[in-house]
Amino acid sequence: QQQVKQSPQSLIVQKGGISIINCAYENTAFDYFPWYQQFPGKGPALLIAIRPDVSEKKEGRFTISFNKSAKQFSLHIMDSQPGDSATYFCAASYYGNKLVFGAGTILRVKS
């Protein structure tokens, strides 16, 4: 019940295209859903996050879509750029406790 399942494992997108990464969770107690971006040799960096009372949140080229009834959320990267090439992790937590992470998606944006 603590798992967060993430797909796809890897993704190749053309420059200017839309990258879409999906996550699903089981624990309905989760109340915070962040996305992290990680470059090789670096720690995860918080990209964008959403609470379950909102269905969508947009920050620049990054959008989270949240479907509470389906227990799914996704990250959309618009106008993907080569500099977006990284590993992306979805995560979930409740009441500020530990983050439960997905397995990660390796994104490569081809120029």
Partner 1 sequence: GAGVSQTPSNKVTEKGKYVELRCDPISGHTALYWYRQSLGQGPEFLIYFQGTGAADDSGLPNDRFFAVRPEGSVSTLKIQRTERGDSAVYLCASRPGPSYNEQFFGPGTRLTVL
- Which residues of the chain form contacts with partner 1 (CB under 8 A)? 6, 32, 34, 36, 41-46, 49, 89, 91, 93, 96-104
Which is nearer to partner 1, 12 or 46 (by Cβ)?
46
Closest by CA position to 7, among listed 94, 77, 79, 88: 88
Burial degree of 30 (CB within 10 A; 0-12, 13-18, 19+): buried
Nearer to partner 1, 46 or 54 (CB): 46
Please report how close the Cβ of residue 104 comes to partner 1 at its closest, in angstroms: 5
**How large is the C-alpha radius of gyration of the chain?**
13
Least distance CB 78 / partner 1 (angstroms): 23
